[in-house]
Amino acid sequence: QTPPGLPLRVEDVEKRFGGVTALDGATFSVEEGSITGLIGPNGAGKSTMFDCITGVHTPDAGSIRFHGEELIGKEPYQIAQDGLVRTFQIARELEEMTVLENLMLAPKGQIGESAWRSVAPVARRGVVKQEEQIREDVWETLEFFEIDHLAGEYAGNLSGGQRKLLEMARALMTDPEMVLLDEPLAGVNPTLEEKLLDRVHDLREQGYTFLFVEHDMEVIMENCEHIIVMHQGKVLAEGDADEISENEQVIEAYLGE
Ligand code: ADP
Ligand code: MG
């Protein structure tokens, strides 16, 4: 059983790609209402871990439980329905739609990048929202992310940072409990970066939980109260920013990058 307050529990997860061991018995938990950072040098297994948690890959061994329920074997859209979503890059089909249309579609459908497969076909827990309610939620979300002035703009015309805000907005439209962010600041200018991080903190105040992969160590140290360090497919260390920055094994792992 997953202890209360630790909704996500990853245990002894292994994943091999041919001869490459990407995950080699990784174990960690994510605390409810936290912003938890997942870091590690290149090739540590962070993206593979995200893909395993969100049902994109099936691990070879181990278990991944969300509120005690096994996620391994579930489809990405089922995991999204359970309340665990990740942000996805805006797919090409969606670039030809407006920001407003992108958000209108999200709760019914396509948060995935392979638009019609990794989908959350209905809002969480099988409740299909009425169009009017969706419209209201969409405008609220647009205003929250301060992209309401872009509602009529084609997604394909957005800047890197505006796209990231839209990606997060789309993920939120599915009414999640936990959001997995895979390098959400890549290609984002400093002004929008701050805005994006502010929104993450606002949402955490509202009770959302975040698992945050980011290459920029400083961003992780400043924004995450708990940090998990992966190395060679395993969890090397866990702790707060002070503990992690003083950890000899962590320093060594990064030096070898
Ligand atoms: P990170 O995101 O921490 O940089 P990854 O999860 O992308 O690490 O990769 C972990 C290891 O698994 C690396 O050695 C990488 O080359 C390998 N790997 C990841 N995905 C695949 C794949 N689809 N096929 C083969 N090897 C892969
Ligand atoms: Mg990666």
Query: Is pLDDT larger for residue 133 or for residue 119?
Result: 133
| pLDDT at res. 108 | 54
Closest-lying ligand 1 atom to the alpha carbon of residue 42: 4
| pLDDT at res. 54 | 94
Phi-psi region of 189 (alpha: psi -120 to 50; beta: other; left: phi over 0): beta
Q: Identify which ligand lies nearest to the alpha carbon of 41.
A: 1
- Ligand 1 pocket member 43 (CB < 6 A): yes
**DSSP-derived secondary structure for 103-121:** HHHTTTS--SSSTTTS---
Q: Identify which ligand lies nearest to the alpha carbon of 236.
A: 1
- Ligand 1 pocket member 46 (CB < 6 A): yes
- Under DSSP, the state recorded for 19 is T
pLDDT surpasses 80 at 69: yes
| Segment holding 157, helix H or strand E | none
| pLDDT at res. 5 | 85
CATH number of 1-83+177-257: 3.40.50.300
Residue 242 Cα to ligand 1 midpoint, Å, equals: 28
Query: Is pLDDT larger for residue 180 or for residue 114?
Result: 180
What average pLDDT does the structure give for the chain?
88
Give the pLDDT mean for 168-180: 91
pLDDT surpasses 70 at 119: no
pLDDT surpasses 50 at 62: yes
Residue 182 Cα to ligand 2 midpoint, Å, equals: 8
CA distance 232 to 75: 26
Give the pLDDT mean for 6-32: 97
Q: Identify which ligand lies nearest to the alpha carbon of 52.
A: 1
| pLDDT at res. 129 | 61
**DSSP-derived secondary structure for 225-241:** SEEEEEETTEEEEEE-H
Q: How confident is the model at residue 230 (pLDDT cuts 50, 70, 90)?
A: very high
Give the pLDDT mean for 79-96: 87
- The domains of the chain are located at 1-83+177-257, 92-174
Q: Is 31:25 a contact under the CB 8 Å cutoff?
A: no
pLDDT surpasses 70 at 127: no
Total Cβ atoms within 10 A of residue 108: 17
Q: Percent of the chain having pLDDT more than 70?
A: 89
| pLDDT at res. 128 | 57
Give the pLDDT mean for 97-108: 85
pLDDT surpasses 90 at 36: yes
Q: How confident is the model at residue 134 (pLDDT cuts 50, 70, 90)?
A: confident
| pLDDT at res. 210 | 97
What pairing do the DSSP bridges indicate for beta strands 20-30 and 8-17?
antiparallel
Write the secondary structure of 28-96 as one string of H (helix), E (strand) and C (coil): EEECCCCEEEEECCCCCCHHHHHHHHCCCCCCCEEEEEECCEECCCCCHHHHHHCCEEECCCCCHHHHC
